[in-house]
Amino acid sequence: MSEWIAQLNSFDPEVRREALAELSRRIVDDEYPDRDAVNLHLHTFYSFNAEDYSPAAIAWRARCEGLQVAGLVDFDVLDGLEEFLEAGRLLKLRVCAGIESRVHVPRLAGSVINSPGEPGIAYHMGVGMPQRSIGPDEEHFLQELLRRAGQRNRELIERVNAYLSPVEIDYVHDVLPMTPRQNATERHISRAYARRAADQFAAMSDLQAFWSDKLGEDVSAEDLPDASRLLDRIRARTMKRGGVGYVAPEARSFPSLDAMNAFVLRAGGIPTLAWLDGESEGEQRMEEWLDIAMSSGVSAINIIPDRNFTPGVKDQKLANLKNIIALAGSRDLPVLVGTEMNAPGQRFVDDFASEELAPHLPLFLKSAYIVYAHTLMQRQYGWGYMSEWACHNFPDRRERNAYFEEIGRTTAPGKPIALSRARS
């Protein structure tokens, strides 16, 4: 079985498809029992995954972990959506898929929100996208996201090359081959620099000396040539705010909040506010930020719990976590949770048995069922959570939540919803 599992991460979709089909035939329900756990914020190798997981590999891992619902949200692309939904059908796993990007928020242009050091810029999401096939306007929007990202990457590499010389990389030849569809990120670029430096300096002492000099700190204790901590340091020193390659984004660097939400809605998804930790000026004005976001179409909140508490420590971050969950509850907004898997060492599933998360697990499960049900309803009938049908039949958001939760909880993975169950 290990051979088939390894093939799940091939860049060749046919190899992945064959491996997944073989593994699906070997599924024994008793061997992988369900448990009360979800992850709706998984990245794959279509953006960046620390384990280089494909959508099929993510689905297989989620099935083995016994997740109730698994959700994919790659950065700037929907390329893994159909593979992930099909994998869910084959593996009898509840799945959903969406997108994450960054947006400009004009009404908070002077405040840092959730993109550290970048006023007016916010990480933002759309979840529950029902299919990859979208209209020409939506396709153009996606292509523009990739064009802007590629331009930023090329400009960044030009500046970093000048600083790290003689260690220099080429975007086309050294970075893009790391991705199956040429959607490279800063993490790919960091890895490319680490590999190029290892080629340039054959002696370990020379490699250590190079990085210690360029990063301004001793790296002799690191597991070179491409240890995760080294990659994080390269990215922080050369690409993030204060780094030699960093250029502060402008309003035109990213789509506006309104444009992003309009795209998500047209593509059949649910616009979702991404919350960091409540420490920034913008997130301390959470009522105002939510008013702005909801007036633009936001109907769910995403949090990454591991960032928001230290086990056993009752500090301000934990208080912020409780506050955002309570605020979402007061507005009947689903709260989606998960770990990104975009950096080494991140766990695949949050510790929902912890003292800090256990009280909120029922809400997390309910919210995940809602997005899964939305995916089914939108894909099969066009009656998703944000549809005209849903808003007409369930103008009260609490009632709508209850209906979609029931659909998501009771519909077996891989099975269509019977039309008789849908409210007319």
Question: Residue 404: pLDDT above 90?
Answer: yes
Amino acid type, 408: G
Angle, CA of 353, 357 and 362, to the nearest 5°: 90
Angle, CA of 104, 245 and 49, to the nearest 5°: 70
Q: pLDDT grade, residue 337 (50/70/90)?
A: very high
Pick the closest to residue 371 from 318, 320, 300, 312 (CA basis).
300
Domains and CATH numbers, the chain: 2-134+267-421 (3.20.20.140), 144-238 (no CATH)
CB under 8 Å, gap of 24 or more: what pairs does 316-323 form?
316/278, 316/279, 317/277, 317/278, 317/279, 318/356, 320/277, 320/278, 320/279, 320/283, 321/277, 321/278, 321/356, 323/278, 323/286
78-126 per-position pLDDT tens digit:
999 999 999 999 999 999 999 999 999 999 999 999 999 999 999 999 9
Residue 259, sorted as left (phi over 0), alpha (psi -120 to 50) or beta, turns out to be alpha
Amino acid type, 424: S
Threshold 0.75, pTM exceeds: yes
Q: Are 321 and 278 in contact (CB under 8 A)?
A: yes
Q: pLDDT grade, residue 424 (50/70/90)?
A: low
d(CA 17, CA 259): 35
Residues in the chain: 424
198-231 per-position pLDDT tens digit:
999 999 999 999 999 999 988 877 778 777 888 8
Report the pLDDT value the prediction gives residue 219, as an integer from 0 to 100: 85
Report the pLDDT value the prediction gives residue 248, as an integer from 0 to 100: 86
222-269 per-position pLDDT tens digit:
778 777 888 889 999 999 988 999 988 888 889 999 999 999 999 999
Report the pLDDT value the prediction gives residue 365, as an integer from 0 to 100: 98
Question: Residue 417: pLDDT above 90?
Answer: no
Q: pLDDT grade, residue 319 (50/70/90)?
A: very high
Residue 284, sorted as left (phi over 0), alpha (psi -120 to 50) or beta, turns out to be alpha
* Residues contacting residue 274 through CB under 8 Å, at least 6 positions apart: 100, 114, 122, 123, 124, 125, 302
- For the residues 291-305, what does the mean pLDDT come to? 97
Question: Residue 419: pLDDT above 80?
Answer: no
Q: Are 269 and 127 in contact (CB under 8 A)?
A: yes
Q: Are 332 and 402 in contact (CB under 8 A)?
A: no
- For the residues 281-292, what does the mean pLDDT come to? 96
